[in-house]
Chain A
Amino acid sequence: MPIIHHMMKNVVSVRSLAVTRDGNEVLRGLDFEVAPGQVTGLLGPSGCGKTTLMRSLVGVQRLTSGSVEVLGSPAGSASLRDQIGYVTQQASVYDDLTVTENLRFFARILGLGNERVSECVDLVALGEHRDRVVSHLSGGQRSRVSLAVALLGQPSLLVLDEPTVGLDPVLRVELWQTFHALADAGAAVLVSSHVMDEASRCDRLLLMREGRLIADDTPAGLLGNTGADDIESAFLALVQQEASA
């Protein structure tokens, strides 16, 4: 494999990535990079392979072929385990513990103290609910607990699978501000969404369809190249171009 000179500049480097699950080709040869200091949006319809791609970056998905490097090591390496924050669609926290108890548990696994726990509770605006049992919280609040866990270790790579689903608009704006603040602090933030109108909030977009990347550009660049008025129309234009090509 050729040595990629700008490898260290990118937090994630994906080469010819393919994943087949239960006989389905979920990812069909992807190549891209994710840069630090940016919010990268991964957009595409439900079932296009976004979650499998994110799992591959985090290192919990077995790859069929190709490679994924994170911070210079193969995804899933032991050295990366305290460098990546991952939020799944389902809130992966303990329903029968309070917000603080959940965070304290994961903080101890990461070797962090209680100050960091309070900081992360505040980052996701759950201060008022810190002593409530998670099962008594709303769906949106639960996913924020899950996000807070991912923020604990101040990860270099933050992978967020549809983190804004079901949140009220005010909170959504706040969360996007948080993502940008984390990127400004130097992290690479990868956010997936099937809602195209969230695209404008990203520094860069990866558009995905049926296991392939159909675009990798800035929101403005994407609109310029396709002559579309919004990202949804740009997506349609790209699909039509592909079909006629």
Chain B
Amino acid sequence: MSAVTPRATTAVTTRVLTQLRRDHRTLAMLLVLPCALMSLLWWMFDGLPGDGFSSLGPALLALIPFIIMFLVTSVTTLRERTSGTLERLLAMPMGKLDFLLGYAIAFGLVAALQSALAVGVCVWLLDLTIVGSVWMLMVVAVVDAVLGTALGLFVSAFARTEFQAVQFMPAVVIPQILLCGLFVPRDALPRVLEVISDLLPLSYAVDAMQTVAATNETGDVWRDIGLVAAYAVVALALGALTLRRQSP
């Protein structure tokens, strides 16, 4: 695989962001929807005893960027594959890694903005209790979004239409949501499911969010972030394998 050329990587990042800026509706949904969903969660627990919002909120902050970036990326790259632009780029002096990193950086930046807004709304408007650092929360959200982007890039290789690409969301994402410890604590799951849950990256992202929210501990959080990042790197590498300069 060719080395990374910053020129080509930033060209891809700039282009993806320009496309996104032109699509006002998508941009508005990317930024407003997470805040609206967090507010909905807060409202559900308003008037109930205990602090349900603070116990579920951090997990949701981990799930949202992952789900949204997974969807956005899988559809965008599928479009890139079917429109012939990907083939054109790969016939040019364009590294596969440049292409993937360009996307990851663009959506990582969007995720940072998205999470900053959602975290801001939660902490300052909705009184979400965060014992640890708010910055740490943001780092987890961005790494999580990059993971969603990387997985989205990878699965788009297995879809021929946008309908199929969207179907990968329930297949790849919902099992992770069910097993991440949100519904049943992970150590209380049947043994087989616990092992599976230990293998799924979203479990660590949710762990990290919950640890930041509840404690001042940073060691565990960095370990979780490292694991999620490692999964993202593996997914990007697998994504690179699906970018073929030649087709049969």
CB neighbors of B among A30-66 (8 A): 58-62
CB distance B8 to A108 under 8 Å? yes
Evaluate contact between B7 and A149: CB separation under 8 angstroms: no
Give the contacts of A83-126 with B (CB-CB under 8 A): 84, 86, 88, 90-97, 101, 105-106, 108-111
From A62, A78, A82, A92, B88 is in contact (CB under 8 Å) with A92
For chain B, residues 30 to 86, give those with C-beta under 8 angstroms from any C-beta of chain A.
Answer: 83-85
Cβ of B193 under 8 Å from chain A: no
Considering the complex, which residues of chain B in the window 97-128 have a beta carbon less than 8 Å from any beta carbon of chain A? Answer: none
Bound CA–CA A61/B83 (angstroms): 17
- The docked-state distance in angstroms from the alpha carbon of A61 to that of B87 is 11
| CB of A163 within 8 Å of the partner chain | no
CB <8 Å contact, B84 and A88: yes
B91 and A110: CB pair below 8 A? no
Given contacts A108-B7, A109-B11, contact A60 B246 (CB under 8 A): yes
A78→B90 CA distance, assembly (Å): 10
Contact of A59 among B23, B88, B91 (CB under 8 A): B91
A110 engages B23 (CB within 8 Å):
no
Q: Is the CB of B93 within 8 A of A82?
A: yes
Q: Which of B14-22, B152-160, B178-186 contacts A (4 or more CB under 8 A)?
A: B14-22
Shortest distance from the beta carbon of B29 to any chain A beta carbon, whole Å? 16
Task: Specify which chain A residues have a CB less than 8 angstroms from the CB of B87 in the assembled complex.
Answer: 60, 88, 92
A95 contact set on B, CB distance < 8 A: 83
A167 in the interface (beta carbon within 8 A): no
**How far is B87's CA from A133's CA once the two chains are assembled, in angstroms?**
22
A117 to chain B, nearest CB (A): 13
Number of B positions contacting A (CB below 8 A): 26
Given contact pairs A58-B91, A84-B91, A97 touches B19 in the complex (Cβ within 8 A): yes
How many residues of chain A have a CB within 8 Å of chain B? 30
Count of A-B contacts judged by CB separation below 8 Å? 76
Residues on B with C-beta less than 8 A from A90 are 83-84
CA distance A90 to B85 in the complex (A): 10
Q: Does A9 contact B (CB under 8 A)?
A: no
Which one of B11, B22, B85, B246 lies within 8 Å of A61 (CB-CB)? B246
Residue of A21, A82, A88, A94 touching B92 (CB-CB under 8 A): A82
A76 to B85, CA, bound (A): 17
Residues of chain B within 8 A (CB-CB) of A109 are: 8, 11, 89, 92-94
Please name all residues of chain A whose beta carbon is closer than 8 Å to the beta carbon of B85 when the two chains form the complex.
Answer: 92-94
Q: B246 contacts A96, CB within 8 Å? A: no
Closest Cβ of chain A to B86, distance in Å, is: 9
Residues from chain B with Cβ under 8 Å of A133 in the complex: 22
**A110 touching B246 in the complex, CB below 8 Å, given contacts A60-B87, A88-B84, A96-B19:** no
Measured between alpha carbons, how far is A84 from B87 in the docked complex, in Å? 13
Which residues of A are found within 8 Å of B245, using beta-carbon distances?
A: 59-60, 76
Chain A's closest residue to B15 (CB) is A105
- Name the residue in A21, A86, A94 with the highest tally of chain B Cβ atoms < 10 Å from its Cβ: A94
A97-B18 contact in complex given A60-B245, A60-B246, A76-B245, C-beta closer than 8 Å:
yes
Are B91 and A101 interface neighbours, CB within 8 A?
A: no
A60 close to B91 (CB less than 8 A): yes
**Nearest-Cβ distance from residue B165 to partner chain A, whole angstroms:** 18
Contact yes or no, B84 A81, CB < 8 A: no
B190 cross-chain contacts in A, Cβ below 8 A: none
Residue positions of A touching B, CB distance < 8 A: 21, 58-62, 76, 78, 81-82, 84, 86, 88, 90-97, 101, 105-106, 108-111, 133, 149
Question: Known contacts A59-B245, A62-B246, A108-B10; can you find 18 more A-B pairs with CB under 8 A?
Answer: A60-B90, A76-B245, A78-B93, A81-B91, A81-B93, A82-B92, A82-B93, A86-B88, A92-B84, A92-B85, A94-B19, A95-B83, A96-B19, A105-B14, A108-B11, A109-B93, A109-B94, A149-B88
The 8 closest A-B CB pairs, nearest first, are: A92-B84, A108-B11, A81-B93, A92-B88, A105-B15, A62-B246, A62-B248, A96-B19
11 pairs, CB–CB < 8 Å, chain A vs chain B: A60-B90, A81-B91, A81-B93, A84-B91, A88-B87, A92-B88, A94-B19, A105-B14, A108-B7, A109-B11, A133-B22
